[in-house]
Amino acid sequence: MANLAVKIGSLVLRNPVMPASGCFAIEYQEALNLNNLGALVLKSVSPKIRSGNPTPRVAETHGGMLNSIGIPSNGLDHYIEHILPAYTLFDSPVIASVSADTVEEFALACQRLSLTNISAIEANISCPNLEADGMAFAMSAATTYQVVSAIRRYTDHPLWVKLTPNAANIALIAKAAQEAGADAIVMGNTILGMAIDIHSRMPKLGNVMGGLSGPAIKPIALRLVHQCYRAVRIPIIGCGGISSAADVIEFMLAGASAIQVGTASFLDPCVIQKIIDGVDSYCEQMNINDVRDLIGQVVQDPQLTDRWLRFAQQSG
């Protein structure tokens, strides 16, 4: 049996497979042994009480799903008192995901969460920044550095920073997160999209636009993980369209140290355990003793690699 354990900064996970924030809840214990998962990543919490976006919030698309949930929240007090405790009863590390409107709100929320029994904080900076006219923090290197460095000043907890695939130069943004003190990068989130009902001629989402997830975005997510892997020294956690063990292997070869499963869990609540078993079987079949030996091992033409590096240096 292969060693499936991976390290994300100072945190050791028993295997590289975990749920994505927003696609997992305590009710999954009816379908999965939560002690077998690499980590338990909770839905993003907002310090402020918010009701979320107008309905309908979800629409099926070819090869994926659109959602515009809006991160509804009962606030940080409710989250710490009523949500977190149930997850901390399991052996798997608990990762608290945080979303906030301003730099100060992010920093103060992470400070409060650091006093709880969690293993790491995932700062979801792919959410709108009210101090920049609603543009996501992770859309620019400057605002990424600003918010991550502020959080870092307020907490010593392991800090994962969740980036957005909608940014133009992901390598620069990943570098900014690393320089500001991130321990790992979660790459990434949904891609902005839209769908229209041709009979009513109305958008299928109440908020008009939403985030596209599922198999349709996997090639984009894989490319972004590889670009981040080339740009930074900290671990990358891949996310986007992963639904099988083969997808996990692909993401690890591209540079991911671990992965998160999102939309696939809506189709099959047991899929995460199946993926873990599949990764183990792949390692056994390929005589791989340690799953970490896969990280970043995609084979490339040296000439192409040299040209890519020169381009990255020029554009960075």
pLDDT digits (tens, 9 = 90+) for 175-198: 999 999 999 999 989 999 999 999
Question: What is the Cα–Cα distance from 72 to 257, expressed in whole angstroms?
Answer: 30
pLDDT (0 to 100) of residue 315:
46
Tell whether pTM > 0.85. Answer: yes
Question: What is the Cα–Cα distance from 168 to 139, expressed in whole angstroms?
Answer: 7
**Amino acid identity, residue 126?**
S
Q: Which two tokens stand for residue 145?
A: 């550095």
What is the set of active-site residues?
A: 127
pLDDT (0 to 100) of residue 70:
87
pLDDT (0 to 100) of residue 306:
59
Collect the ranges in the chain with pLDDT lower than 70. Answer: 128-135, 301-316
pLDDT (0 to 100) of residue 1:
81
Sheet with 64-67, side-by-side order of all strands = 58-61, 64-67, 209-213, 191-194
40-41 and 94-98 as β-strands: parallel, antiparallel, unpaired?
A: parallel
Question: What is the Cα–Cα distance from 305 to 150, expressed in whole angstroms?
Answer: 35
